[in-house]
Amino acid sequence: MAAIGRCVPLNDGSSIPNLGLGTCSLDKLVKGDTAKAVKTGIEIGYRHLDGALMYGNEDEIGEAIRAKIADGTVKREDIFYTSKVWMTYLSPDLVRNALTKTLKSLRLDYVDLYLIHWPMALKASEKELFPRDASGKILHENVDLRETWAVMEGCKDDGLVRSIGVSNFNRRQLEMILQMPNLKYKPVCNQVECHPYLNQSKLLMYCKSNNIVLVGYSPLGRPQDPALVNTKNPILLNDPELKKMGEKHQKTAAQIALRYQVQRGVVVIPKSFSPGRMKQNKEIFDFCLTDEDMKRIDGINKNCRYVTEETLIDHPNYPFHDEY
Ligand code: A2P
């Protein structure tokens, strides 16, 4: 099966496929589910895989990648794997510990892209993702993210990661990195929630003007995730405009939402572990939305965020207090 999508250039000379497979599953996963899904994904043409230490399944992603290399479906260089350093490892002396864990789980020599998962540092912890004090309060850490970034640059220089970037950064936080006096490498991307109900047009413009790729997570609005979705928010895939446009192009609302992004230069990483939906989500390169269609989709933006990470709303670096 041919690789799907188009490669978008990154500001460090590498490139990223504009459609990837998300692997963050908040459903109760049975051991083996991730490996099976990632193998299927690679078989049907996905070459960009998005993961993170936090998702707890990098061992299975590595297993799937290695299996597909071993059976001759792909070579290591055909795969673009993204991982992310979690909030409890943002102290400069801990970043490499997190990366070592990731590489050990994957049993790979490098990751293609390594991101700061959130701009909020939490107290160092090997065991807990959200360390708390006796009263249950999440413990924050005061870390200068510019120092964290300098370590990320070192990981790239050492060949452990090919490219480095950030995730969930607002404009001010991106600027802080871009204005570092000794900046060696700019972030290649900012991975943020992005879909027609949160189209991030201002952040996208800012990123484009700085040659930073915007990678959109939850591009379908997390439709089957009632635990996470803010139930006050409308369901993206039920949107009448997306459905109507789907009928016009003989596509699903999900395919319209994904096509909208790739057409405006956003890289998308829909998560699916269902072979049928993985296939559906890749069938977005055989049609075009018109300028009028694109404008109509722009028009349904509601600045509606599904992933708010509200337990950290009082963190000094909580990114979503700013407009963008
Ligand atoms: P599944 O893994 O069973 O396919 P997002 O990437 O926006 O966070 O959305 C992920 C969620 O959307 C997952 O629960 C996934 O479930 C579901 N999903 C993925 N592709 C589609 C699709 N084409 N139509 C409807 N739901 C989808």
Q: What is the pLDDT of residues 9-49, one digit of tens each?
A: 999 999 999 999 999 987 677 899 999 999 999 999 999 99
Q: Are the C-beta atoms of 198 and 303 separated by less than 8 Å?
A: yes
* Cβ-contact 254, 281 below 8 angstroms: yes
**In this structure, are residues 152 and 114 in contact, taking their beta carbons and an 8 Å threshold?**
yes
Query: 138-161 as b/e, with b when 16 or more CB fall inside 10 Å?
Result: bebbebebeebbbbbbbbbeeebb
The pocket around ligand 1, CB under 6 angstroms, is made up of 22, 218-225, 237, 252, 254, 270-274, 277, 280-281
Centre of ligand 1 to C-alpha 102, Å, is: 25
Residue 219 alpha carbon, nearest atom of ligand 1 = 7
What confidence tens digit (pLDDT) does each residue in 141-196 have?
999 999 999 999 999 999 999 999 999 999 999 999 999 999 999 999 999 999 99
Summarised one tens digit per residue, pLDDT across range 210-258 is 999 999 999 999 875 656 556 678 999 999 999 999 999 999 999 999 9
pLDDT value of position 28:
72
Q: Which residue CA neighbors atom 2 of ligand 1 most closely?
A: 272
Residues 103-118: tens digit of each pLDDT: 999 999 999 999 999 9
CA 220 to ligand 1 centroid distance, Å: 7
Q: Which residue has the CA at smallest separation from atom 26 of ligand 1?
A: 223
Question: Model-level pTM?
Answer: 0.97
| 93 Rama class: left (phi>0) / alpha (psi -120 to 50) / beta | alpha
Integer Cα distance of 42 and 73 in angstroms: 8
**Residues assigned a catalytic role:** 55
Beta strands in 258-298 (DSSP E): 267-268
Contact 280, 252 (CB under 8 A): yes
Backbone phi and psi for residue 311, each to the nearest 5 degrees, phi listed first: -65, -15
Give the Å distance between the CA of 282 and the centre of ligand 1. Answer: 12
pLDDT of residue 2: 72
CB count within 10 Å of CB 272 equals 23
Q: How far is CA 144 from the centre of its chain?
A: 23
Pocket-testing residue among 40, 272, 281, 282, ligand 1, by greatest number of atoms within 8 A of Cβ: 272
pLDDT for the residue numbered 229? 56
Partners of 161 in the β-ladder: 111
Cα of 223 vs centre of ligand 1, distance in Å, is: 6
At residue 281 the predicted structure's pLDDT band, cuts being 50, 70 and 90, is: very high
